């Protein structure tokens, strides 16, 4: 979702955000998730300067992720807050380009690091793949030494 600075000032600066964004088109470019529900974005936007914008946003969605053991789909609710500054300078992670801000890139960029490394289906046999603890040979000799005393 690309927003102009004018639209941000006139529509969102006073009343805030309450948007639903669809990111299903981005699923074909990644393998981290099977599906993503509509993303609800609420929050505020402030103009700290005429071309320096501060977003304070709440993000909620549900991801469908692969189980780490069975690859079955697992529903994973996601809810978090972000604060992001956008300007024309290179100091900001996201920049104003031609009086426009890509809010979709900001939201997607916040969702990706929030995806857990592993999720498990309720019926996944977790104990099948656990390795037995290995004892380092050096420490195994010490164990016998202390048992003798």
Whether residue 145 lies inside any domain: the answer is no
pLDDT number for residue 11: 85
Enter the tokens of residue 25: 């088109």
Which residues of the chain, if any, have pLDDT below 50? none
pLDDT number for residue 24: 92
pLDDT number for residue 92: 72
Contacts of 8 (CB under 8 A, 6+ apart): 45, 47, 53, 101
pLDDT tens column, 102-124: 999 999 999 999 999 999 998 88
Whether residue 87 lies inside any domain: the answer is yes
Whether residue 113 lies inside any domain: the answer is yes
Whether residue 70 lies inside any domain: the answer is yes
Whether residue 142 lies inside any domain: the answer is no
Whether residue 129 lies inside any domain: the answer is no
Whether residue 132 lies inside any domain: the answer is no
- What percent of the chain stands above pLDDT 70? 89
Total count of domains within the chain: 1
pLDDT number for residue 125: 84
Q: For residue 60, give its domain range.
A: 2-124
pLDDT number for residue 148: 60
Whether residue 7 lies inside any domain: the answer is yes
Do you know the residue count of the chain? 149
Per residue, what are the HEC states of the chain?
CEEEHHHHHHHHCCCCEEEEECCHHHHHHCCCCCEECCEEEEEEEEEEECCEEEEEEEEEEEEEEEECCCCCEEEEEEEEEEEEEEECCCCCCEECECCEEEHHHHHHHHHHHHCCCCECCCCCCHHHHCCCCCCCHHHHHHHHHHHHC
């Amino acid at each position: 979702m690309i927003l102009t600075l004018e639209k941000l000032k006139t529509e969102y600066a006073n009343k805030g955000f309450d948007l639903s964004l669809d990111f299903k088109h981005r699923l074909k470019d990644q393998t981290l998730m099977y599906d993503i529900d509509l993303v609800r974005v609420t929050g505020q936007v402030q103009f700290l300067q005429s071309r320096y914008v501060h977003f304070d946003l709440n993000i909620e969605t549900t991801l469908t992720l692969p189980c780490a053991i069975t690859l079955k789909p697992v529903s994973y609710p996601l809810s978090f807050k972000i604060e992001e500054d956008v300007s024309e300078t290179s100091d900001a992670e996201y920049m104003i380009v031609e009086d426009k801000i890509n809010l979709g890139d900001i939201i997607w960029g916040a969702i990706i690091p929030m995806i857990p490394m592993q999720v498990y289906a309720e019926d996944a046999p977790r104990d099948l793949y656990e390795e037995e603890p290995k004892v380092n040979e050096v420490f195994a000799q010490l164990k016998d030494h202390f048992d003798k005393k």
